[in-house]
Amino acid sequence: MLETVRGWIREARHIAVLTGAGMSAESGVPTFRDAQTGLWSQFNPQELATEAAFRAHPQRVWDWYAHRREMIAGVAPNAGHVALAAFEQRHPGRLTLITQNVDGLHQRAGHTNALALHGNIADDRWLDAPRACCRVDAIEAGRPPRCPVCGNLRRPAVVWFGEHLPTVALEAAEQAARHCELMLVVGTSGEVYPAAGLALTAHQCGARVVIVNPEVTPLDAVAELCLRQPAALCLPLLLA
Angle at 79 between CA 219 and CA 91, to 5 degrees: 80
Active site residue 118: yes
Strand ranges, E, within 26-176: 95-99, 115-116, 119-126, 154-158
**Do residues 144 and 103 touch, judged by C-beta distance below 8 A?**
no
Catalytic member of 67, 118, 179, 203: 118
According to DSSP, the residues that pair with 185 across neighbouring strands are 18, 211
C-alpha distance from residue 59 to each of 22, 66, 154, 155, 208 (Å): 29, 10, 11, 10, 46
**Do residues 189 and 219 touch, judged by C-beta distance below 8 A?**
no
- Nearest residue to 177 (alpha-carbon basis) of 16, 4, 6, 9: 16
Strand ranges, E, within 86-172: 95-99, 115-116, 119-126, 154-158
State the catalytic residues: 118
